[in-house]
Amino acid sequence: MTQSNPYLPLPVTIEKITIENEAKDLKTFRLRFQSDEDASSFKYECGQFAMLSIAGAGESPIGIASSPLDEGILEFTVKRYPTGVVTTALHNFDEGETIGVRGPYGNAYPLEQMEGSNLVIVSGGFAFTTLRSTIRYLLDDSQRSRFKKITVIYGARSPGELLYKDELAEWENRDDIEMVVTVDKGDEGWSGREGFVPTVLQEVSPSAENAYVLVCGPPIMLKFTMPPLLEMGFPPSRIITSLERKMTCGIGKCGRCNVGSKYVCKDGPVFTYEQLQQIPEAVL
Ligand SMILES: Cc1cc2nc3c(=O)[nH]c(=O)nc-3n(C[C@H](O)[C@H](O)[C@H](O)COP(=O)(O)OP(=O)(O)OC[C@H]3O[C@@H](n4cnc5c(N)ncnc54)[C@H](O)[C@@H]3O)c2cc1C
Ligand code: FES
């Protein structure tokens, strides 16, 4: 449910900041609602985003990286752009300080529709955030039995750029999820897989039978991932992705985020490949 005044940010305290990568331009912010009422009214689903609001700097749409089952907190993993006003301001905050959050906005991954199916999750770079939310959710004891086999193919440029390293290690040790983690180029400490995500996807070649695939990554990765998925037999209606566009309001009012006749903030950000094939401006 969206809060009653959708433009009013809710105050949240930065409880924990985790530097995720060697380049130190990706940080995960764990935020705690300052009021119990706000915490219980902010109900979200995997795949949705929120507007992070910094007084004097502005607002940015950021995908929610925590699981809907994580009570009282929200997590966001944010990349700082050197000329980015909001992301730079956010990276300068310390634990204990207050920022604002409004949302949740957008649609979600269709997990109910995917129930009883095999799930394949394919991701590269920091677009992994809302899929991390999804994996945390799917692996919860209350949810895992709703889905069949879960295969995750996740890649980063280098070992130092992999997000959520502790969780990746934990998931790799479980026998109810197949984790395939790859880097474009390893270093001397890396004994894992090397290779670009689309190539590794072809090597792993997950079955398309009774399966859905969630795929998020930079445009170049998506461009080279869609053809093999189609060749493997995944129907476009079962290939699900998430789009990023510049946004101002986040609630379908300003017209800033449209692709064709769709507003990414309201009709998306989650779209099936079948839907995107109908929108020439969205061609991946
Ligand atoms: C639905 C949705 C979910 C998103 N989820 C996340 C997320 O989980 N984590 C995250 O870090 N970001 C996410 N983004 C992107 C994020 O909203 C932007 O990076 C952020 O708004 C930039 O704000 P800024 O004020 O720092 O930059 P601005 O001041 O708006 O931009 C300044 C300059 O920064 C650079 N820049 C800004 N954004 C980008 C970009 N996306 N790609 C390349 N260069 C850029 C450009 O050079 C730009 O000219 C998401 C966007 C959408 C629409
Ligand atoms: S961001 Fe305003 S309409 Fe989508």
Confidence label for 282 from pLDDT (cuts 50, 70 and 90): confident
pLDDT score recorded for residue 114? 97
**Residue 249 beta carbon below 6 angstroms from any ligand 2 atom:** yes
196, 201, 202, 208 alpha-carbon torsion, rounded to 10°: -160
What atom of ligand 2 comes closest to residue 258's alpha carbon? Answer: 4
**Helical H segments across 165-283, by residue range:** 165-172, 197-204, 219-232, 273-277
**Residue 96 beta carbon below 6 angstroms from any ligand 2 atom:** no
| Cα 197 to ligand 2 centre (Å) | 31
**Residue 219 beta carbon below 6 angstroms from any ligand 1 atom:** no
How far apart CA 14 and CA 94 sit, in angstroms, is: 7
Residues in Cβ contact with 209 at an 8 Å cutoff, skipping those fewer than 6 apart: 118, 233
* pLDDT tens string 3-44: 467 788 999 999 999 999 999 999 999 999 999 999 999 999
What atom of ligand 1 comes closest to residue 80's alpha carbon? Answer: 26
**Residue 195 beta carbon below 6 angstroms from any ligand 1 atom:** no
Confidence label for 246 from pLDDT (cuts 50, 70 and 90): confident
pLDDT score recorded for residue 20? 97
Tell me what the mean pLDDT of segment 227-233 comes to: 97
pLDDT score recorded for residue 280? 77
Question: Angle, nearest 10°, between helix axes 129-138 and 165-172?
Answer: 40
**Residue 254 beta carbon below 6 angstroms from any ligand 2 atom:** yes
Q: For residue 59, which ligand has an atom nearest its CA?
A: 1
- For the chain, where do the domains classified as CATH 2.40.30.10 start and end? 10-105
* pLDDT(281) > 80: no
pLDDT score recorded for residue 276? 92
* pLDDT tens string 182-202: 999 999 999 999 999 999 999
Residues in Cβ contact with 228 at an 8 Å cutoff, skipping those fewer than 6 apart: 198, 201, 202
Structurally, what CATH architecture does the domain formed by 111-242 represent?
3-Layer(aba) Sandwich (3.40)
How far apart CA 59 and CA 49 sit, in angstroms, is: 12
What atom of ligand 1 comes closest to residue 89's alpha carbon? Answer: 26
Q: Which DSSP category does 149 fall into?
A: -
CB 118 within 8 A of CB 211: yes
CATH topology for 10-105 is Elongation Factor Tu (Ef-tu); domain 3 (2.40.30)
- For the chain, where do the domains classified as CATH 3.40.50.80 start and end? 111-242
**Residue 7 beta carbon below 6 angstroms from any ligand 2 atom:** no
* pLDDT tens string 65-90: 999 999 899 999 999 998 999 999 99
pLDDT score recorded for residue 4? 65
Tell me what the mean pLDDT of segment 47-61 comes to: 95
* pLDDT tens string 128-187: 999 999 999 999 999 999 999 999 999 999 999 999 999 999 999 999 999 999 999 999
pLDDT score recorded for residue 283? 67
Q: What angle do CA 70, 71, 72 make, to 5 degrees?
A: 125
Q: For residue 257, which ligand has an atom nearest its CA?
A: 2
